[in-house]
Amino acid sequence: MGKNIVIEQNFLEKGHTQMEFDAVHSSIEQKLKNQEIFLPSQFATLSKQARPQKPYLVEYLDYSFFDDFSDKNSFMYDSIRPGRSVNDPTVTDIRALQYNPSHGVIKYKLNFEEDYKDLPRRIRRRVVMPETLPPRPKLYQSRIKISVTKWKHLQELKTVIPSDCHGYYDSLPY
């Protein structure tokens, strides 16, 4: 909205299309073949190396990256479902969405050949520029804990993992 750009988002039908990212995933899978991986960070490194001429941009995320979107009052719409009653279209029937920043309106298509229609939902709140909104709270305040059983099983794996990787497994919160 801040850049006043209309965004069109298409949802592909399962089994009927091929996306540019299929080639990305394929090259990463090829790079991962026959590799020994002991740490999550090794996935990021190998993903970058999957295309040596122009390495993929890989961002290693941790718990602090994720924002909390549970406050539904901060959304402009309560739902993007195009129908309201039983047998009306649902979210999974949507094939395309169009976000128009000038009015804050979302339009949708149920098939690619039709024209966009206004989402039959009332806008919950007036359009506010994103830079004027307070930052969203973070979803997690610290690393997510795993169960004691999972932690113990990971400790057992240390017998086949290089010792310089043990610190990662020891530091996992449980």
Q: What is the pLDDT of residues 37-81, one digit of tens each?
A: 999 999 999 999 999 999 999 999 999 999 998 887 777 788 889
Higher pLDDT, 4 or 39: 39
Predicted pLDDT of residue 125: 61
* 3-class SS shares of the chain: helix, strand, coil, % to 5: 30, 10, 55
Q: Residue 139: is its pLDDT beyond 70?
A: yes
Taking the C-alpha atoms of residue 162 and residue 52, their distance in angstroms, rounded to an integer, is 27
pTM, two decimal places: 0.67
Q: Which two tokens stand for residue 139?
A: 């979803």
3-state class (DSSP) for residue 109: strand
Q: Give the Cα separation of 58 and 49 in Å (integer).
A: 10
Lowest mean pLDDT among 31-35, 90-94, 124-128, 153-157: 124-128
Residues 6+ apart with CB under 8 A from 67: 136, 137, 138, 139
Lookup: tokens for 58: 């890989």
- Cβ neighbors of 119 (< 8 A, separation 6 or more) are 77, 80, 82, 105, 106, 107, 108
